[in-house]
Amino acid sequence: MNIKTLQVGPIGTNCYILCDEAEKLCAVIDPGGDADLVAAAVAETGCALCAILLTHGHYDHTGGVAGLQARWPEVPTYLSCRDQGADDSYMLQLFPPVANVKDYGEGDAIQVGSLTLKVLSTPGHSEGSVTLRCGDVLFCGDTLFAGSCGRTDFPGGSVKKIMASLKRLGELEGNLKVYPGHMESSTLDQERSWNPYLRQAMNG
């Protein structure tokens, strides 16, 4: 397993390219913009793209999807249905429509070659937020950050739900690697020790 990180889109969202180098297959996680840059990075891996995976439906995580779909129309895109179907102008800005998506959520699994990504429902930042676990790696989207957590003041956000999601992540066994939607990566041990939101969630 190899993970390549790019900062893309208007606010530097972390876009990850997860590669199974043995089988020469990869997935793009949260292409928030700069589709040309992401496509070039996929080409550099030497792996064939087999999935586009979205941790949630906010514009800064989905902005590059259409450009990637134009290049790879046969590649499936996954997004929770709970983050689709906005029906007013503000919501459409926050949750722009993403075409040709497949719904996924708790208990689902996505294969990238021999790698299995397990879908954990982690609402709170948005109703449809998910964390993708691959072995000892967590792609947390905007649920868990290094030293912080995602905002809950957007439509679909919930303090109660994000605290429950943080508790769930904090109680996972082992010192898993944390790859968040923004800022630097971390580990669960580090977050359990120093992240005030995670500590509050686990002790609440």
Q: Which domains does the chain have, with CATH numbers?
A: 2-203 (3.60.15.10)
Mean pLDDT value across residues 147-165: 97
Both tokens of 133, joined, read 């676990």
Helix (H) or strand (E) holding 193: helix 188-194
Percent of the chain with pLDDT over 70: 100
Q: What are phi and psi of 15, to 5 degrees?
A: -110, 130
Q: Is 161 helix (H, G, I), strand (E, B) or coil?
A: helix
pLDDT category at 167 given cuts 50, 70, 90 is: very high
The answer on pLDDT for 88 being more than 90 is no
Distance (Å, rounded) from C-alpha 115 to C-alpha 71? 23
The mean pLDDT value of the chain amounts to 97
- pTM beyond 0.85: the answer is yes
